[in-house]
Structure 1
Amino acid sequence: MKHTIKHIFLLMAAAVMLASCKTGRSVYVSTSFHEPADSGLRFIYSKDGYHWNDLNHIFLKPEAGKAKIMRDPSITRGKDGIFRLVWTTGWKGDQGIGYASSPDLIHWSAQQHIDVMSYEPTTVNAWAPEIFYDDEQDRFIIVWASCIPGRFPKGQEDADNNHRLYYTITKDFKTFSPTKLFLDPGFSVIDAEIVKRGKGDYVLVMKDNTRPNRNILVAFANNPIGPYHDYTSRFTEKFSEGPSAIKVGNNWLIYYDSYDLKRYGAISTPDFKTFTNISDSVSVPKGHKHGTLFKITPKELNQLLKATPK
């Protein structure tokens, strides 16, 4: 009997250790850039999802596009384990986006400038591309904001600042589906990120870019390309942008750039229906500008740390 009890306790201890190992198997990372956005790709990381550290190193210097800048870097990883990165390459007069890939976030492919909007010659820009891996159909969906002057009714925005969302789909980054309208919510919208909660359950986190608002809301769909519906109220302060969401424990954390307050903000939500501002409970390195949140293994973080000059 004593041996049986001892065996049970050993099994219980092993289970606790296994659970601890499982909870420690992911590290949170966010792509990042610093103004004026000409230096390149940065990363910040966190082991708890709330307190962040800056690697303080440029991992990819922008070469795509005429302006040679990198804003709004967005990253995802497909079933092949390769990281795929897209970014904004120009403020105005640029109808394409940047693209590069990496097996380890350290060594990067040659950069491409993907022409996504030249089929509409009056297009002003291609802002904040967000890349989403659709694991149910093994494809990559890229969503960005563009303004085609006069195409949609405008509010108080200038004609060249009235944005809607567009998208293209690719499986191999060699051929791309024709660009299509992704979302017209009836107002100027930018900075949209697709979040998958479960099979057939998607959330779109976005910025209402109208002059009275300029803050964050979400909508819902049963397909990553929509249609999206049931728009929530705006739940951040005005002058908020660049939202990115990730699940930490039982809650989703939505980080965003509160550019008027000159700080990084965070919202906690268990269900994307109730929202709690936890900006005072997080710490984000100074100078960090919005990117995409994702997870890597501790081993991959160690590789990044080793690749970072002391």
Structure 2
Amino acid sequence: MTTYAGYLYVHFKRESANGEQIYFALSDGNDPLHFTDLNGGQPVLYSALGERGVRDPHVVRSPDGQRFYLVATDLRLYDSLDWDRHQRNGSRSIMIWESPDLVNWGEGRLVDVAPPEAGNAWAPEAVWDPDQDAYLVHWSSTLYDDAEHTGQSYNRIMCATTRDFREFSEPRVWIDRGWQTIDATVIEHDGVYYRFLKDERGRSSDVPLGKSIFCEAATSLTAADWKPVAEGIGLGAITQGEGPLVYKSSTEDKWYLWIDEFTPDRRYVPFETTELASGRWTPCETHHLPPDPCHGAVLPLTADEYNRLASRAARPPAGPTQGTNR
């Protein structure tokens, strides 16, 4: 069993000249709730491809532990807050970087994953699926019935498989509730997968838990039916939520769920539980996150990985690099 000695938080920041790029934050030793940005609070990776900005990064370790893959949304709102354009005719690609050690990253590449009927590809994540001997990569897409992407539609969760993050299977719908769902994330425990998503519908008397996080569970990533676990997670402590990220403590049977309240005054709020299956989450009493923490992922680190990041501070290139298209 791998022994871990700390955590890496991979994230972006709110819209600004350099906000929608990739930032790294390191935990205070093995403390799972206290993080400080590396590299002097400057981006570690830049994108100059596609929309020239990246959001919602997610990082996954290969099953053999020899490689890391980072995927992110190809989107830059600092240049355009036209949400309708981004959903109807936005990027259908995701940005991908690879690294052998979390410090040295290869040139980023833009890879098409969503089908032509999709208007966007948001919040990609990757999870290794031993049943398929491949990574399941999932993201949100709005699908349209016509080539011009007119009319009304809604985001659903798409997925595809890959073994190398270069060639992907044909995309398919993974989650379709008949209404807007975005920001899916998955964690496995004792043979059960727990899937957290955002109900993106506007809140109303008919949809009292809109704009909040719900959870469901299954014993396979490809299961047809997922059992409901909890809805409206965190409401009361927060007014709304999106961008959930979830990870397990490296030292005890405890899990942490961060939910982005996405208000002008507050972003990520951490919650904890000792029983994933219960669906009960309690706000954490103390925590320290980097300034303006946005949708990302937390990865447990070995002592070598932690020390390498701490000593080198994940030094980035001098500025944006062009990267490659596929």
Normalising TM by the smaller chain, what interval? 0.7 to 0.9
Instruction: Give percent identity, aligned residues only.
Output: 26
Look up the match of 2:321: none
State the SS of the aligned residue for 2:232.
coil
Of structures 1 and 2, the one scoring higher in RCO (CA 8 A, sep 6+) is 2
Look up the match of 1:108: 105
Look up the match of 2:124: 129
Look up the match of 1:210: 201
Q: Give the one of 287, 297, 301 matched to 2:306.
A: 301
Look up the match of 2:266: 262
CA distance in 1, matches of 2:276, 2:14: 33
CA distance in 2, matches of 1:103, 1:37: 30
Kept after mapping to 1: 8 A contact 2:12/2:296 = yes
CA distance in 2, matches of 1:294, 1:228: 28
Look up the match of 1:48: 31
TM-score (norm. length: structure 2): 0.78
Look up the match of 1:83: 68
- State the Cα deviation string for residues 74-120 of structure 1 (Å, max 9, x = none): 11011242100110002612111111111112211222211122432
Kept after mapping to 1: 8 A contact 2:26/2:310 = no
User: Which is helix-richer, 1 or 2?
Assistant: 1
Output the aligned Cα RMSD.
Answer: 2.3
CA distance in 2, matches of 1:101, 1:94: 21
Task: Give the alignment of 1:15-26 within 5 angstroms.
Answer: 25-26=4-5
Measured after TM superposition, the shift of residue 52 of structure 1 is: 1.8
Task: Give the alignment of 1:207-246 within 5 angstroms.
Answer: 207-212=198-203, 213-231=210-228, 232-237=230-235, 238-246=239-247
Structure number with bigger Rg: 1
State the SS of the aligned residue for 1:53.
strand
CA distance 1:228–1:107, change in 2 (3 Å): farther
Q: Give the one of 145, 152, 169 matched to 1:159.
A: 152
Measured after TM superposition, the shift of residue 147 of structure 1 is: 0.8
Which letter maps to 2:35? Answer: W
Look up the match of 1:146: 141
Pick which of 23-32 and 261-270 moved more: 23-32
1:253 and 2:256 aligned = yes
State the SS of the aligned residue for 2:278.
coil
Count residues in correspondence. Answer: 277
| Stretches of structure 2 lacking an aligned partner (at least 5 in a row) | 77-85, 204-209, 316-326
| Stretches of structure 1 lacking an aligned partner (at least 5 in a row) | 1-21, 152-157
State the SS of the aligned residue for 1:210.
coil
1:73 and 2:57 aligned = yes
CA distance in 2, matches of 1:37, 1:239: 23
Measured after TM superposition, the shift of residue 271 of structure 1 is: 2.3
CA distance in 2, matches of 1:263, 1:176: 33
CA distance in 1, matches of 2:190, 2:47: 35
Kept after mapping to 1: 8 A contact 2:5/2:306 = no
Measured after TM superposition, the shift of residue 286 of structure 1 is: 1.7
Look up the match of 1:16: none
TM-score (norm. length: structure 1): 0.82
CA distance in 2, matches of 1:228, 1:193: 17
